[in-house]
Amino acid sequence: MKDTHPVSALQAPDRRHWMTQSLRVATMLAAAGCVPSALRAQTLEWNKAAFEAKAMAEAYKALGSAAPVESREIVLTAPDIAENGAIVPIGITTGLSGVARLLVLVEKNPAPLAAAFTLSDAVEANLNARVKMNQSSWVYAVALMADGRALFTRKDVKVTLGGCGT
């Protein structure tokens, strides 16, 4: 059966079209030197061992960090109850200076390290992300400081529908 809907002949460009066009423009600007060096992507070494660690202590060791100390200067926002463990929104913020990395760990996930962000002094330590949670668990926000300290805060999040393979 033929589609006779009047809009079908004049379809608007889809998301893929806009993403492709945006990437082309960004590439041309970067090639012309029009992108500030602070915005250029840097190649950072991906710590595969930390993301594949099966326990939180293993992840800290792979990251070269000692066990963190609890701090009230880190704020973790997450829902008390996550209806879908596949997309749990979290936020981390701190006013501390000298934060080198921010980590998100989910204690009962098969691989606890859910996210790692490398920061510079030019970046405010205020991040939002979505993580997968296998089941109800403690979620940890860890700040690895430039001076070697590791600080954390945590929140208990209840999951009603699992996200890591369930």
φ, ψ at 46 (rounded to 5°): -85, 125
d(Cα 79, Cα 161) in Å, to the nearest integer? Answer: 14
Per domain, the residue ranges of the chain are 12-38, 47-159
Give the model's confidence band at 24: pLDDT under 50 very low, under 70 low, under 90 confident, else very high: confident
pLDDT for position 4: 53
**Percent of residues, the chain, with pLDDT higher than 90:** 52
> What is the average pLDDT value for the chain, to the nearest integer?
83
Q: Residue 103 is encoded by which pair of tokens?
A: 């980590």
Ranked by mean pLDDT, the top range of 22-31, 42-51, 147-156 is 147-156
Which tens digits make up the pLDDT trace of 96-109? 999 999 999 999 99
Per the CB < 8 A criterion, the answer to whether 133 and 88 are in contact is yes
pLDDT for position 161: 73
Across 9-13, 117-121, 125-129, least confident range: 9-13
The reported pTM is 0.70
Task: Classify residue 86 by burial, with Cβ atoms within 10 Å: 0-12, 13-18, 19+.
Answer: middle
**Percent of residues, the chain, with pLDDT higher than 70:** 78
Which tens digits make up the pLDDT trace of 49-98? 899 999 999 999 998 888 899 999 999 999 999 999 999 999 999 999 99
Give the model's confidence band at 17: pLDDT under 50 very low, under 70 low, under 90 confident, else very high: confident
* Domain 47-159, architecture per CATH: Sandwich (2.60)
pLDDT for position 3: 52
- Dihedral of alpha carbons 149, 103, 138, 96, sign: positive
pLDDT for position 166: 45
